[in-house]
Amino acid sequence: MQRFGREFAKRRIANIATLERALGVAALPLSATGRPTAYRTIRAGGKVTIFTVGYEKRDGEGLVSLLVDAGIQLLADIREKPMSRVPDFRATALRGFCENAGIEYRGWPALGSTEKLREELKATGDFKRFERAFRIHVIRSGQHALEELAAAARKKSTALLCYERFHEECHRSTVAELLADILDAGIVAI
């Protein structure tokens, strides 16, 4: 695995301390940037754990250091269109960061939120309504992709990736729940 430099090492130290508290965070440790970080258990489960992570307010090296420290083997990009204004989070760049860290990167665009659903959420601000509509969308149109992702998560420690920093504010929370139901899995937000 290629090392990314001093900043990567600092982040790894902070991440390891945080990961040790993953199942019962009593205090919020500081990341290398001085911001509080925490791994939060969203749902307890069986032998498989589904991780979720957002790249908002992160950079590529920071994201990869979190993934490495969490033991992630597969980064599942569940954006409909894996594009970003931030160059580090475009599909090609993410694939490169992941490969350098020994992590497999794959896209599951069928599990992304559609533009129509995102526009409705933007117009209404009603996330609960969005969640219900998105869940129906995935069950109708993304079932094959969901089953394919579940099969991959049975074999490799997997993190679902999208933009929003907070698990509860992103469609990946719904995808994680659907996967956890299939796999009797736990969910941990990074």
Q: What is the DSSP string of the chain?
A: -----HHHHHHHHHHHHHHHTTTS--S--B-TTS-B---EEEE--SS-EEEEEE-TT--HHHHHHHHHHTT--EEEE--SS---SSGGGSHHHHHHHHHHHT-EEEE-GGGSPPHHHHHHHHHH--HHHHHHHHHHHHHHHSHHHHHHHHHHHHHS-EEEEES-SSGGGSTHHHHHHHHHHHHT-EEEE-
Average predicted confidence (pLDDT) for the chain: 86
Host domain of residue 178: 39-189
pLDDT of residue 25 exceeding 60, the answer is: no
Q: Who has greater pLDDT, 7 or 189?
A: 189
Q: Does 27 fall in a domain?
A: no
Interval 12-19 mean pLDDT: 55
Residue 180 neighbours by CB distance under 10 Å? 22
Q: Does 183 fall in a domain?
A: yes
Q: Who has greater pLDDT, 63 or 21?
A: 63
Which backbone phi and psi does 30 adopt, to 5 degrees? -95, 140
How many separate domains does the chain show?
Answer: 1
Whole-number pLDDT of residue 183: 96
Q: Does 94 fall in a domain?
A: yes
Q: Does 22 fall in a domain?
A: no
Q: What is the pLDDT of residues 119-158, one digit of tens each?
A: 999 999 999 999 999 999 999 999 999 999 999 999 999 9
C-alpha Rg value of the chain to the nearest Å: 16
pTM of the model: 0.80
Q: Does 124 fall in a domain?
A: yes
CATH of the domain at 123: 3.40.1010
CA distance 35 to 23: 20
Q: Does 147 fall in a domain?
A: yes
Whole-number pLDDT of residue 48: 95
pLDDT bracket for residue 162 (50, 70, 90): very high
pLDDT bracket for residue 34 (50, 70, 90): very low
